[in-house]
A and B are shown apart, each in its own frame.
Chain A
Amino acid sequence: QQQVKQSPQSLIVQKGGISIINCAYENTAFDYFPWYQQFPGKGPALLIAIRPDVSEKKEGRFTISFNKSAKQFSLHIMDSQPGDSATYFCAASIERNDYKLSFGAGTTVTVRA
C-alpha cells in the first residue's frame, strides 16, 4: 500500500503564482523527506529535502514545510515559472534502515504564462 499520500494529482497556476503540494505519511519511523522533480521524458531529480528536526527549509523559490505532529509536509513553489512545469514527487525513507524511498503518487504542475 502507498505509504505516502500526495495531493493534488495536478494543478495549474499562473506565472508568478504559488504552487502548493501536500503530502501525508503514517509511518512515524520516517526521518528523511525528499522532493523529486521530473520533466517529461526524463528521470526524477532531487529538488530539496528535509529532516524532521526542522519545520521549514528554503532553497531559492522552493520551500518545504514540515509538521511532525500532523505527519504532513508540503512543497511551496513561489513565483512559479513556466520552466517549473513538471511532475513533483514527495518521498520518505528511514535513513538508518535500508534507505528505501517510498514515493507519493506525484503532482503534475502546469505553469501558464
Chain B
Amino acid sequence: DTAVSQTPKYLVTQMGNDKSIKCEQNLGHDTMYWYKQDSKKFLKIMFSYNNKELIINETVPNRFSPKSPDKAHLNLHINSLELGDSAVYFCASSHTLAGVGDTQYFGPGTRLTVL
C-alpha cells in the first residue's frame, strides 16, 4: 500500500494555465508538506499543514495555493503557470509538526513541465 501518493505523476501544460496536484497519505499523520525540487535537485519546502491548518508558508508566490480538505489530503493549486514553475513537486507527511525527529515520508513526486 502506498503511504503517500500524488497525482498526476507527470503534468505538461502551457504557460498561463491553472493546474492542481493532489496528495493523499494513509499513514494517519497530522502534518503534510509540499516541497519543490528544481532541475539541480535542490529541495525546498513550500508549505506545511498541521491538522488542516497552514503552519509554514515559505516565500512562495501567491499563485500557489495549498488546500487541505482533511488531515489525509493536501492539494496544491497553481494559477497562471510560468516557465520557472517547471520542477518536481513532492508531497510529504509526518506524524507531528514539532515532533522530536519525526521522519518525513515523501510521495513519488509530480514532474511539472510548463511550455
Contact = CB atoms under 8 A, between A and B. Distances in A.
Interface size class of A (residues with CB under 8 A): 20 to 34
Mostly, the B contact residues are: loop
Interface string A63-98: 000000000000000000000000101000001111
A50 to B, nearest CB: 9
B55 A51 contact: no
Contacts of B4: 43
A41 interface: yes
Chain A to chain B: the 5 pairs with minimum beta-carbon distance, closest first? A43-B106, A103-B43, A106-B41, A46-B103, A44-B106
Interface of B: 4, 31, 40-45, 48, 55-56, 58, 90, 92, 94, 96-109
Contacts of B101: 32, 34, 49, 51, 95
Contact of B92 (A32, A38, A43): A43
